[in-house]
Structure formats: C-alpha cells, structure tokens
Amino acid sequence: MKQVKLNSETKKDILTSLLKRSPAQYPEYEKIVADILDNVRNNGDKAVFEYTEKFDGFKYNSSTIRVSEEEIDEAYNNYDKKLISIMEKAYDNIKSYHEKQKQNSWISTDPNGSILGVKVSAIEKAGVYVPGGKAAYPSSTLMCVIPALVAGVDRIVMTTPADKNGKVSDCTLVAAKICGIKEIYKVGGAQAIAALAYGTETIPKVDKIVGPGNIFVALAKKAVFGHVSIDSVAGPSEILVIADETANARYVAADLLSQAEHDQLASAILLTTSKELADKVNEEIDGFLKELSRTEIISSSLENYGYILLCDSIDDAVDAANEIASEHLEIITKNPYETMTKIRNAGAIFLGEYSSEPLGDYFAGPNHVLPTNGTAKFFSPLSVDAFIKKTSIISYSKDALEKVHTDIEKFAESEGLTAHANSIKVRFE
C-alpha cells in the first residue's frame, strides 16, 4: 500500500480520489439505466422477462419468475445444517439489536385543552434487493429483511438474480426462509428496481426499496427516489483503520484486506502515528496476498484506493477520519473508547483489536447496510427507522384555540394568506 505523509494537500487528494468511486461519477451508465426504467414502466412483465433473458440467460414467464415454495424448501433441506445453525444465531443477534430501535406512538395532553402526538406506522410494502450473480450474500438478506420484520411491514418482496439455469443461490433462499420470506422474484439489476418502483403484472409496486447492488442498481435507485423511498445510493465498500504503535500489524493488515477483496473499487485506508506499524502492515499484506483467493481484485483495489497515511497525532488521524467519513471505521489504539468520542462521521465503528469488521458484516447484530462515499456525514445505517413513518396528531378544544386564535390569524396575514387566517377567524365570529 502507498505510504503518504498526512497533510492538508494529501488529504485533499485522497478525498478527490475516493469521490471518483461514487455512483454520481458514472454518467455513461445513466442513459442505460434510464432506458431500462422507462421500458419496465411502460411494458411491465414483458420488459422484465426480456432483460432477465438478456442479462441472466434464462427465459421466464409470469409463473416461473417467482421462486416457488418447493425451491425454497429444497434449498433449505439440502443446505449445510451447520451453516443453517450459524445463520439462525446471526438472525437472533440481528433481530435482538434491531428490536431495541422500535419506536412507539405517543400522545401529550395539556390542561389547556390541547392534545398533540405522533402516530408511528410501518410502511405497507417493502422491496428488498439482494445481490446475486457472481456471488451470493445471505448476510444481506438478513440485514435488509430483519429491520422490516421488526418494524411490522405488512408485505416484504425480495428480488435477486438467478443463474443461467434459473436457480437462485441456495444460501440466499435459506436466509430468506429463516426470515419467513416467501415472495421472491428471480430478477436483478436496474430492471428489478424498476419493477419494484413501478410494479408490473407480476411484481408488486412497493413503498420503499432497500439493499446493496452494482452501479446499475445504485443508479436505478437514485433515479426512482421520490417515486418510492430508498435507503441510500450505495457505492463500493470502504474500511478505514485508526491505529497507533500498540496495534497488531497482522490484525490490521487482515482487516484492510477484508474489504479490499469486495471489488476493484473498494477502498482500504490506514491512519497511523507509527511508521514502524505502517511498514509491518505492508509486510503482512504481502504475505497474505500469497495465501488469499481474490488476490487480483485485492491488488487492484489497493493499487488505486489503498493508502497508509502517516499522522503526527491521533487527533490528526481523527480529523482525517471525520473528513473521509468511511463506511467502516476500526479504532485499534491504546484507548479506543477515548478516540471514539472524537469521531463524528462513520457508518459503523469497531473498537479494539478483537472487533474486526466482518464481525459486523455477519454476526454481531448492527446492520451492515451502511452509508458510503462520505455520506456517513448525513446518512445512517439501515435500521427499523427506515421502515416506519410518523404522522403528527393535533387536537385543540375551543377554549385552547380561543387563547391563541388572534396570534395565528396575525401570523397567517403576515404571509399574505388571508384564507388561512379566515379559517381560524370564522370560529370566533
């Protein structure tokens, strides 16, 4: 990995480099995505079937594009029972964590005769996109579905691409069965997002779409936002590690590579006050690259978006981390909890040398669908909040309104909205 002395100029260069990975920087794909969205909106199932045949190599119709219960049961019955047990443990951890996020409606009454409150309701229909194709991600199934279940969403619709034989990955179907999801459609890419956003003869329109995907999925979600709600426009994966001289170089190297293996656009950055640690981390990375399976992808990721930034102090490292606002942030320092208090921007924070990032990806409980490309400055992880909406409740008695009606009338008239003022005024004529 490239070693760079951290200063204002190098930090600026790195931020510019990282932004090149943003979905907003791929306008050449936007026209392709727009055409797919328009086609599905106008032609429904016909367009979806054509795209799945073109991109996935299998010809569907309205009765075969939905995963059957027999397919789900077959996948579950044939799957490794030990892995099923592990997924069930992960399910319990994730559900337990998200249940702590639940919100309740509330009402506040005042002796003056006013009643104010909030009604919390789950959205009716949620669409969950689970990536497939080159790799399967049952963990994403769990992370996207469980918050919706906890929120109380009435109908959860899942889409995921199948292989050229029309088969969805067993592990994805097993994760869906553990969550109790039965409505699954064999469609991926921008066409899946279009189907969920607009609805077709077979696939229902939903109220919100969540889940990670490739550049076409990200741009499609961006384009349909407003027609439906989305979780976020996710970019390539990121990890940033803040470490001092007390950190274990082998652990740090392994953690950086855990994200670099996702794809060539993934980013892995180490911020450290120790030149000795930096050198040892590079040595460990070289050793790991001789052992790991996705070395070509890892090497490309590190070449383009891998950095070791040498900092004068932990405070300088924190300042840089807050500017980068990484998806995953590990803090492996003498006092990680003290360092954490200074972090303002990160998708998820992992504290200490035994809190490796994959712990969050698979098992601990917090959601692994996180803001990327610096959006942790204003976005949060996927949560139960994503699947609820709030409605304000207002009730005033005549006595309560009488005490303030002239104030309201004057306020409305100051904006030139005399009909607003009159709506109050007529009640006291």
Catalytic residues: 327-328
- The residues near 347 (Cβ < 8 Å, ≥ 6 apart) are 326, 327, 328, 329, 370, 371, 372, 376, 381
Pairwise CA distance, residues 81 & 83, whole Å: 5
Token duo for residue 126: 């949620």
* Continuous H helices in 116-242: 138-151, 170-179, 189-198, 215-224
Token duo for residue 252: 């740090």
- The residues near 169 (Cβ < 8 Å, ≥ 6 apart) are 132, 136, 138, 160, 163
CB of 177 closer than 8 Å to CB of 147? no
Please give the angle made by the CA atoms of 225, 229 and 234, to the nearest 5 degrees: 70
List C-alpha distances in Å: 289 to 38, 63, 78, 310, 396. Answer: 44, 46, 34, 23, 68
Helix (H) or strand (E) holding 393: strand 388-396
